[in-house]
Amino acid sequence: MTNKKRKKIALLFGGNSAEHEISIVTALQAYQAVDPLEFETIPVYITQQGKWYTGDALFKKASYKAFDPDTLNLKRVTLLPEPEIQGLLIYGKNNKIDLNQKIEIDACLLCFHGQQGEDGAMQGLLELADLPYTGSPIAASALAMNKSHCKALLSHFGIPTLPWTVVRKKEAVVNFENVIETILNNKEMSFPLFVKPTQLGSSIGISKVLNENELRRSLAQVFVYDNEAIIEPCLTSVLEINVSVLEGHPPLASVVETPISSDGALSYEDKYLRGGKNSDVQGMASLQRIIDPKDLDESIKKSVQNYAIKGFSILGCLGLVRFDFMLDLNENRLYFNELNPIPGSLSFYLWEKSHPQKIYTDLLSDLIFMAIMRKKENLSLKKNLDNLQKVITA
């Protein structure tokens, strides 16, 4: 294939998010796997200050140690919410944007994690810019990222979840003691409990609390990162089971995995800091896990996959997501835990062991082509009612 026929894919990552570094890991892994015959990958890194850069140095891990756009010869770029541009605009001298200086883009491969990239904000910008992008659309992304809303919707449709309660930072600021008392008086909330930020992933800010003092500290910890905390009872004997779901007719579930945690629940350290230093593999791909465990009951695996596929459809997800479940080993009951609309390492390790197997390169190609196809389908939708004149002259 000649260069002309390759599609130009903007690999978007980084962002103003607590999971910024994890996004870099996911993006670098994805870059290694994208089919170079089909696609020309253009890295687009968004700093935590919200500045967008592109350049070949972004493909090197070392570039992020002491990030300096000048030393790395990066170009500053931006994306305007205007459909006719169809690409990134380059900043020129004196930080001025020239509409004639642009990098054309055919589609965007999203490798964000956390706020603004995974929760519908970036998706909204890309919709306005009318650029195809991988993954779930705005509403599904926003719902998926909010643990409380996601649980409410899925439980309404019969997917089992543990009871939960939500605490808002505003309430704690006004009367912290009242907030603590309300939790302690809630019969469904007895120790041990899990306290988590409502809208963050990667196990950031998650704590298991055994008593009131720990509850106080953990709530404060959550409010460092989020304006809402979700609190759930903690299962005493639990097995975490994750599964990925890929868009399709019908959606397809991967094999399941059971990640191995250090302390009964996966921490940020488990996911991203253990085993990474001496290994080329990082992020979720480096986590210790058992993929398609032979000693897990087939009926449990099937239930997990079925619930995940059902949840995928209920929420209106697209592309590829990862559902996390918990199995109460005492009661042999399954509960939905959380949904990752853009999972770490795009869960490629699950698809490489699935039946049919999907290697990472093919998975990425599928995601990109699905995104382009969706954009084509949307072109046929009518966007105005030709009623403007009637409204103005009425």
Partner 1 sequence: MWAKAFDTKGTLILALAFLGRFFFEPTFLYFLLSSGFLYSFFKEEDPRVFGKIPLKMTNRAKRLFLVSLSLSFILLLSAYALGDFFKELLFFAFFLQMQPLILLLSWLFLHPDEKRRQNKFLRQASLKLEKVDPFVIGITGSYGKTSTKHALAHLLNTCVGPTFFPKGSVNTPMGITVEVNEKLKPYHQFAVIEMAAYGIGSIRNLSCITKPKAAILTNIGLAHLERFKLTETIQKAKAELAEALPKGGLLVCNGDSPLIREIANNHRDKNIIFYGYSDHLGPLDLLIEFKENTLKGTSFTFTWKGKCYSGTTPLFGKANLSNIAASFAMSSELGGNPDFLMAAIGCMEPVNNRLEIKQDKGVTYIKDAYNSNPLGFKDALEVMEALPGQRKFLMTPGMIELGPLQAHENEEAGKRASRFLDTALIVGKVNREALNRGLSSQMTPSQVLFFDFREEALAFLKKEAREGDVILLENDLTDIYESKSSF
Q: Which residues bind partner 1 (CB under 8 A)?
A: 49, 68, 172-177, 180, 213, 216-221, 223-224
Distance CA 233, CA 227 (A): 20
Separation CA 274–CA 10 (nearest Å): 30
* CA quadruple 323, 324, 328, 329: dihedral sign: positive
Residue 230: which residues within 8 A CB-CB, separation 6 or more?
147, 148, 164, 165, 166, 195, 196, 197, 198
Which is nearer to partner 1, 76 or 216 (by Cβ)? 216
Say if CB 318 and CB 137 are below 8 A apart.
Answer: yes
Nearer to partner 1, 200 or 256 (CB): 200
CB of 205 to partner 1, least distance (A): 9
**Contact indicator for 108, 126 with CB cutoff of 8 Å:** yes
Distance in Å, CB of 146 to partner 1, minimum:
21
Provide the minimum distance between the beta carbon of 17 and partner 1 in the complex, in angstroms, as a whole number: 17
Residue 102 CA: distances (Å) to CA of 56, 69, 86, 87, 92: 16, 18, 9, 6, 11
Q: Which is nearer to partner 1, 213 or 278 (CB)?
A: 213
Nearer to partner 1, 63 or 347 (CB): 63
Name the residue nearer to partner 1 (CB basis): 104 or 269. 269
Residue 330 corresponds to which tokens in the numbers above? 């005492």
Considering the complex, state which of residue 217 and residue 333 has its C-beta at the smaller distance from partner 1: 217
- Nearest distance in Å: CB 56, partner 1: 21
Q: Are 288 and 259 in contact (CB under 8 A)?
A: yes
Residue type, 60: K
* Alpha carbons 177 and 174: distance in angstroms, whole number: 9
Cα separation of 211 and 188, whole Å? 15
CB of 213 to partner 1, least distance (A): 8
Q: What is the DSSP string of 231-278?
A: EEEPPSSEEEEEEEEE-SSS-EEEEEEEEPPSSSS--HHHHHTTT-TT
The nearer residue to partner 1, 46 or 126, going by C-beta atoms, is 46
Q: Return the number of the residue (216 or 301) whose C-beta is nearest partner 1.
A: 216
Tokens in use for 97? 């944007």
Burial class (CB in 10 A: 0-12, 13-18, 19+), 225: middle
Cβ nearer to partner 1, comparing 56 with 212:
212
Sheet-wide strand order for 39-46: 97-104, 87-91, 75-78, 52-54, 39-46, 7-14, 107-110
Least distance in angstroms from the C-beta of 71 to partner 1: 8
Minimum separation from the CB atom of position 70 to partner 1 (A): 8
Q: Reduce the DSSP state of residue 90 to 3 states and report it.
A: strand
Q: Smallest distance, Å, CB 74 to partner 1?
A: 16
